[in-house]
Amino acid sequence: MATLLLLIIYIAFISLGIPDSLFGTAWPAIYSELALPISYGSFVTIIISCGTIISSLLSSLLLSRFGTGIICIFSTALTAIALLMFSFSNNLCLLCICALPLGLGAGAIDIALNNYVTLHYSAIHMSFLHCFYGIGVSASPYILSRIIGTEGNWHSGYQVAASIQFAILLLLIATIAIWGKMKISVSTTSAHHEYTLSFRKMVRITGVKEICCMFIMSCGIEYTCGNWCSTFLVENKHMPMANAAQVVMLYYIGLTLGRFCSGLLAVQIHSWEIIRFGEIILGFGILLIFMPSLITSVLGFFLIGFGNGPLFPNLNYLTPENFGENISQSVMGIQMAVSYLGIMLIPALFGILGQKFGMWYLPFFLIFSYFVLLTAHSRAKHLFQSDS
């Protein structure tokens, strides 16, 4: 039963990934069709992130009242409906309205499944969990590139993505009884050890601010590339939209492969070392997109995904080790909230700068974010080694 539940969790993470890469890939086609400034895409992504932050902060209350299975079903339903609404949108106002349920559907399920896998499975399962997220975010650009290439219509791409979400929703509804059967074993193994801390107390814990900074920068880099890679290639490298969408797919394939390799390495290498290796590859990838060649830019985006991919699951997996199992749910909640703060603010900030200075500014923005990430990592590692 535990294995079947893990498989369901994996599939639920596919549904979590499908919407995340869709908007950034479709945006060049959307702003061209609707005659919008490039930077207006930030309005939509900010609303999505706000919704996710709200649901993240409410996750503990929602989970204690309704349980993980119900939250998974409700969140998947919200994202499926939002994607379908996106497909019928023909102005910025409708896009912004659709963005709110899309964001609300992501936060609680993300925290619930991450914390459950962290406490009940090994590091390899945490990385493989996020591989399935990678399948979702890789599938969306592929679907969209095929549809734009043949029909030139981004609306159909959203309809296909919504159909996949509805199919996953039906699977979750059909297997809801499994969550009820596993409820006793979960509560007896972990729930009585946990207690909730206030936000003020959590930020005073050694290392929390540094780890949160790592989450902000890693997620900021991930979503800046995911949201703006296609626009960068279309505007700065003059690549056709369909081909740019395929590069976004390649970027997310790199993200997925990075997490898959992380899962294999987790058997023998500690999570902190995997994070360090990932950061080295990430930095090399950013350097490649500074070069004028289109091929090096494509390879650079792949390596950015490959290097950055292992950071999020391994930082999550380290939460009980860094702060203790008894407060891991509380710390996980704030980690997710600040992650979505990074997802909201950093790509939006680049959107403003890209509108003002041009898309060529992307590599400089990424290298600055990268050095902030390295600084936070160095500080966090020093603090945890001092405590050990």
30-61 pLDDT, tens per residue?
988 999 988 888 889 889 888 888 887 777 67
Residue 186: exposed, middle, or buried by beta-carbon count in 10 A (0-12, 13-18, 19+)? middle
CATH fit for domain 2-182+204-383, picks 1.20.1290.10, 1.10.260.40, 1.20.1250.20, 1.20.1560.10: 1.20.1250.20
Residue stretches of the chain with pLDDT short of 50: 184-193, 388
Cα–Cα distance, 371 to 290 (Å, whole number) = 16
Cα–Cα distance, 140 to 246 (Å, whole number) = 10
Cα–Cα distance, 386 to 388 (Å, whole number) = 6
Predicted pLDDT at 15: 80
Cα–Cα distance, 259 to 263 (Å, whole number) = 6
Q: What pTM did the predictor assign?
A: 0.75
Predicted pLDDT at 292: 87
- What are the CA-CA distances from residue 106 to residues 101, 205, 340, 353 (Å)? 9, 27, 10, 27
Can you give the chain as a three-state secondary structure string?
A: CHHHHHHHHHHHHHHHHCCCCHHHHHHHHHHHHHCCCHHHHHHHHHHHHHHHHHHHHCHHHHHHHHCHHHHHHHHHHHHHHHHHHHHCCCCHHHHHHHHHHHHHHHHHHHHHHHHHHHHHCCHHHHHHHHHHHHHHHHHHHHHHHHHHHHCCCHHHHHHHHHHHHHHHHHHHHHCHHHHHHHHHHHHHHCHHHCCCCCHHHHHCCCCHHHHHHHHHHHHHHHHHHHHHHHHHHHHHCCCCHHHHHHHHHHHHHHHHHHHHHHHHHCCCCCHHHHHHHHHHHHHHHHHHCCCCCHHHHHHHHHHHHHHHCCHHHHHHHCHHHHHCHHHHHHHHHHHHHHHHHHHHHHHHHHHHHHHHHCHHHHHHHHHHHHHHHHHHHHHHHHHHHHHC
What sign results for the dihedral spanned by CA atoms 381, 383, 386, 388? negative
Predicted pLDDT at 108: 66
**Would you tell me how many other CB atoms lie within 10 Å of the CB of residue 331?**
22
- What are the CA-CA distances from residue 67 to residues 62, 63, 74, 116 (Å)? 7, 5, 11, 12
Cα–Cα distance, 159 to 143 (Å, whole number) = 10
Greatest distance between any 2 Cα atoms in the chain: 58
Q: Residues 6 or more apart from 338 whose CB is under 8 A from it?
A: 212, 215, 216
Domain range list for the chain: 2-182+204-383
Q: Tokens standing for 291? A: 């070069």
